[in-house]
Amino acid sequence: MSGIAKPVWRVRRPCLRCDPPMPKADPSTMPLRERAGHYISNAIIYTLIRVALVLPYATRVALLGGLVERVVGPLVGYRRRAEANLALIFPEMPTLERRRIARACLNNAGRSIIENYSSQEFLKRMDSQPISGAGFDALREADAADRPVILVTGHFGNYEATRAALVAQGFAVGGLYRDMANPYFNAHYVKTMQAFGGPVFPQGRRGTSGFVRHLRGGGQLVLLFDQHVFEGTVLDFMGQPAKTALSAAELALRFNALLIPFYGIRQDDGLSFETVLEAPIAHSDPETMTQALNDSLAVRVREHPEQWFWVHRRWRAYNA
């Protein structure tokens, strides 16, 4: 990446272990009961996905949204947790409205899952997707100059919609993921990300060298930053203190990369998206830059609360 000056800020090495990656599980090393549990749960989920994939696209998306909203979410306690988080952030909101948002967020999650498994059809829908926002021009300029770009978002709408739209326009947008505890589910989960194009890297030591080479070569990388991190820095999110990983900002400073917030915002039809790249975050220090990311996401969540994944224990150091 010739011609790119090193950043003048003195920052510590990005803390890629602040949110410890889930170790890649080997089924053969698991106790029989645990292995059987993972196998059975994956068999149920995967069968449901495969059955849904036989249905027409719009039908399967609506079906999975409804199943997660009405069956899976309440059964595993997700709706209750979402309502508790909503009560923390919006204490004056009527109970029925919190319940509506919690159900809608689960519906969005179910839709996103099956969209991501419908990789070819989803990519086709995103093939001519318009991309708006000041960050898109900045991305194109950086790409022409072989300057790396870190695209940052949260579990909001369906972020893969934007990545798919960018890949369709020729950008080498990579992804960073965490291996899941269920090795059987993880095997096909990773394949869905690879199907969207652009390299994907596992979080932790195995993937670090790959995504570092990708950034140094002027590539683009997607990072999600909106989960609780035990060793993270306490910043404000939605008016409450939340431990937050600084990794995206630290990487941007280390590699002189643009740091661009982006969103795939689901539209009222439940199937289409608005894909937005906001203006890049100015380089300063990791805390200030990450707070700007939190503030950007907070605006989007307040505009479309039903599209953020309220199920995460985002404020878990401060509430049960």
Residue 219 CB coordination number (10 Å): 22
Task: Give residue 217's identity as a one-letter amino acid code.
Answer: G
Least confident of 62-76, 135-149, 203-217, 273-287: 203-217
Residue 199 has pLDDT above 50, yes or no: yes
Q: Give me the mean pLDDT over the 107-113 stretch.
A: 95
Residue 76 has pLDDT above 60, yes or no: yes
Q: Cα–Cα distance between 273 and 276 in angstroms, integer? A: 9
What is the pLDDT, as a whole number, of residue 43?
81
Q: Give me the mean pLDDT over the 75-89 stretch.
A: 94
Residue 217 CB coordination number (10 Å): 11
Bigger pLDDT: 2 or 111? 111
**Residues 265, 300: contact at Cβ < 8 Å?**
yes
What is the pLDDT, as a whole number, of residue 21?
44
Residue 16 has pLDDT above 60, yes or no: no
Q: Cα–Cα distance between 64 and 72 in angstroms, integer? A: 10
Quick one: tokens of 96? Answer: 């029925």
**Residues 61, 95: contact at Cβ < 8 Å?**
no
Q: Give me the mean pLDDT over the 146-172 stretch.
A: 93
User: What percent of the chain shows pLDDT beyond 90?
Assistant: 60
Least confident of 148-162, 208-222, 299-313: 208-222
What is the pLDDT, as a whole number, of residue 88?
97
Q: What is the pLDDT of residues 257-270, one digit of tens each?
A: 999 999 999 999 99
Q: Cα–Cα distance between 246 and 293 in angstroms, integer? A: 10
Average pLDDT, the chain: 86
Report residue 274's pLDDT band, with 50, 70 and 90 as the boundaries: very high
The pTM of the full predicted model, rounded to 2 decimals, is 0.84
